[in-house]
Structure 1
Amino acid sequence: MAKKSANVTARVQPEIKRQAEAVLEKIGLPVSVLIDTLYRQIIMTGGVPYSLTVPNLPTRDNMTDAEFNAMMEKGYHQAMTGEGISADEAFEKIRKGM
């Protein structure tokens, strides 16, 4: 096995680093192993081994008035019948999905 002597330095947002390292710790994967594996995949595939596209999420700009009104009506109905979740719960789900 080749001797590991090269260092990689990267600046990331502290909260992003904390969340990612928490996930890696849960699965028992050191950051150095993850980086080594990523580099090997880049070499083997000749590029980044995952998609770097922006998801096509619905926005008001690409909705018709009828689509927007239907979405708002659905949300209103969910709120009135207690089907919705609190903002705190919604943001927690978003954070977990990152």
Structure 2
Amino acid sequence: MNKSATIQTRIDPKVKNQAQKILDKLNISMSEAISIFLTQVSLHKGIPFEIKIPNKLTEETLRKSEKGENLHEVSDVKQLFEELEN
């Protein structure tokens, strides 16, 4: 397949850097990752994952977790399930 098409896009540098760190660990270039994404869009005939606006509770929970608020730690999965059952 001839890979000669070029795409230019603007992206938040912080998002790009975070993604680059993950891709480096996966040994995938940014170009390869974008190609994978676009291939999946083509195969699925749409975005290959669900995109939706979170409800108020989910939005608030995400905001708090990003700030480190109301987090609960457990030592292992067994403890997690025990606490969920109670």
Q: Is TM > 0.5 for Structure 1 vs Structure 2?
A: yes
Divergent runs of 4+, >2 A = none
Q: Which has the larger radius of gyration?
A: 1
Gap regions ≥5 residues in structure 1: 60-86, 92-98
CA distance in 2, matches of 1:58, 1:21: 31
Given the two structures, how large is their TM-score scaled by the length of structure 2?
A: 0.62
**What do the CA deviations read for 1:44-73 (whole angstroms, capped 9, x no partner)?**
1110001111222418xxxxxxxxxxxxxx
Question: The residue matched to 1:58 in structure 2 has which SS?
Answer: helix
Show the counterpart of 1:56: 55
CA distance in 2, matches of 1:14, 1:24: 15
CA distance in 2, matches of 1:55, 1:5: 38
Question: The residue matched to 1:18 in structure 2 has which SS?
Answer: helix
Given the two structures, how large is their TM-score scaled by the length of structure 1?
A: 0.55
Show the counterpart of 2:20: 21
CA distance in 2, matches of 1:25, 1:57: 35
How many residue pairs end up in the alignment?
61
CA shift for structure 1 position 42: 1.0
